[in-house]
Amino acid sequence: MATLRAISPQLLVDDLAAAIAHYEQRLGFHADFVYEGFYASVSRDGATIHLKCAPRLAGEREHRAAGEHLDGFVEVDDVRALHEELASRGADVVDAIARKPWGRVEFVVRDLDGYRLCFSQPA
């Protein structure tokens, strides 16, 4: 029987080099590869995000921002330590760390292109 091992979202970005730098400097990821200047992979501790330089519709960005929709959910071991680290790196924390009624401790950051990533662990 086949086993799923990982999933990596593909996020459309306006400027690939700037997006990679943001993930490295603000979120502690590192670049795995860059392909022909329009596609890249960044990862941290086995969590991988693919970045593709391609336009998105302005209305799509507005809709997602207005609804506070998540673009990635990342399970972590020590969410409080990660929150402290990312805040000290200057990450844009848009939802402060908090215990949620669904039994998790979470916080949300917004990346350079407006994507919202939730970092979470069981409470």
The CATH number given to whatever domain includes residue 67 is 3.10.180.10
The residue range of the domain holding 41 is 10-55+62-122
The phi-psi region of residue 61 (left if phi > 0; otherwise alpha if psi is between -120 and 50; otherwise beta) is alpha
For residue 28, what are its two tokens?
A: 């502690």
pLDDT tens, residue order, the chain (123 aa): 998 888 999 999 999 999 999 999 999 999 999 999 999 999 999 999 999 999 877 787 778 777 888 999 999 999 999 999 999 999 999 999 999 999 999 999 999 999 999 999 999
**How is 19-54 classified by DSSP, letter by letter?**
HHHHHHHHH--EEEEEETTTEEEEEETTEEEEEEE-
Residue 2 falls inside a structural domain? no
pTM recorded for the entire structure = 0.91
Total domains present in the chain: 1
